[in-house]
Amino acid sequence: MPGAVANPIDWRAAVGPAWVEVDLDAIADNVRMIGALLPEGCRLLAVVKANAYGHGAVEVAHAAISAGAAGLGVSTVPEGLALRAAGITAPILVFTPPRSQDINPALQADLTITVVSIDHARALADAAARRSIPAVAHVKCDTGMGRYGFDDGELGAATEGLAALSGLIRFEGIYTHFARGADIAVTQRQLERFLRVVDAAERAGLHFSIRHAAASSAMLALPESRLDMVRIGTLLYGDRPVSGNAPGLKRAFALKVQPAQVRELRAGSTVGYGAETTLQRPAQVAVLPVGFTDGFDMTPAGPYRRPLVLLRTLARALLSALGLRRLLGAAVGEVRMGDRPVRVLGRVGMQQVVVDCTGVSPEAMLRPATIHVRPTVVGAHLARVYMRDGVAVRAATVLGSFPTSLAQAASGERQSGV
């Protein structure tokens, strides 16, 4: 069984040479920034599925709710139950229709259920009748995603049956999911279709207090899609939008790794498995104890095997030359030591990678490097260290969670960011 780390002061020894830093202030600031874009009365649902996209669901949920999120979104009932077990009382919408064995636990935990068929609604009503407490549900409409939900005709045929269950199920909301949220024309058509479906359902006897359609991309690209609530996932964590404007968006996630060795390699030296990289000049290199098992891509740094990768790289080079690289933010797979990006040499190994740190200051070489990776691919075996005001306040490892504040432990290490 996981247990608490006995000595929270020695958190660096407990987490090992690589860890994830999660900036809770960035999460809170992103919630407030998005909230400022919403019309009056429109709620923000913070999506914390998949362990909050790898950031840590409980900690992110607390930060988002404290910053003004009206509720939380998860994929499965067990995800919702874990939040309830952590003492979170905010509304929680479960996107995936629950399995039969999950319905009773979901109702006991006051989770909001997604209804996708009349048979599913009847099963939910039966469970609610046994408890003598109405279930709370949102109806899901399929307007072009091809996944869960009623299509136009199915909802029309089911409306009378759903209305008959309203004594056992409170149909609080109705929603859809856009297939191409950043494509304004396509999204506009889906939105219009959704609103027609909602209007028909309400005229047939169903009444909803929350209509929602927009996730992060559509919320920015198509303001009229904001309706009564928006479901915010990627923007919550600081991922830059494909389209639209999100001023002040802050990245909340960084993979950190302490260099294990810095050394000189001669011109002609080969690096990594397969000896695919040969140095054309002497180089100072750092060996970082992190690799593809930790979520860092295995793809060799040299060859550009896909045209899109090459185009993105050329675009970044052009913006760098113009002094505008900040517009793109850090690229996935970029390694930084101090303020400088450094080049990966050779293949990324299972738990080792070599980077060219020639020209990096000696002080920066002693501090943890930052690797920008997709949070969802970083394994749970790496500790999450939670930051406020640049200071570590909590950490969770495979052994459990530190039970007390880390502020005292971190106070002497602020220059390194942990």
Q: Which residues are catalytically annotated?
A: 49, 273
Q: Which residues pair with 396 in a beta bridge?
A: 384, 401
User: Which are the contacts of 40, defined by CB distance < 8 A and separation ≥ 6?
Assistant: none
Residue 83's contacts (CB-CB under 8 Å, 6 or more residues apart) are: 48, 57, 58, 61, 72, 74, 92
Take residue 66 and report the two structure tokens written for it. Answer: 């404290």
Q: Which of 253, 250, 255, 230 is nearest to 240 (CA)?
A: 250
Neighbouring-strand partners of residue 265: 283
Surface-to-core class of residue 280, CB atoms within 10 Å of its CB (0-12 exposed, 13-18 middle, 19+ buried):
exposed
**Strands 283-288, 353-356: pairing kind:** antiparallel
Nearest to 103 by CA among 131, 82, 68, 62: 131
Instruction: Give the DSSP H/E element, type plus range, for residue 114.
Output: strand 112-115
Cβ atoms within 10 Å of 399's Cβ, excluding its own: 14
Q: What is the maximum alpha-carbon separation in the chain?
A: 78
For 347-363, b/e burial (b = at least 16 CB within 10 A) is: bbbeebbbbbbeebeee
Burial class (CB in 10 A: 0-12, 13-18, 19+), 174: buried
Tell me the HSE value of 5 on the side-chain side, using a 13 A CA sphere.
Answer: 22
CA distances 409 to 257, 343, 369, 418, Å, are 19, 33, 20, 9
Q: What is the DSSP letter of 236?
A: G
**What whole-number distance in Å separates Cα of residue 73 and Cα of residue 94?**
6
18-23 and 253-257: which strand pairing? Answer: antiparallel
Two tokens, residue 23: 């900036």
Write the single-letter amino acid at 388: R
Handedness of CA 209, 77, 193, 234 (dihedral sign): positive
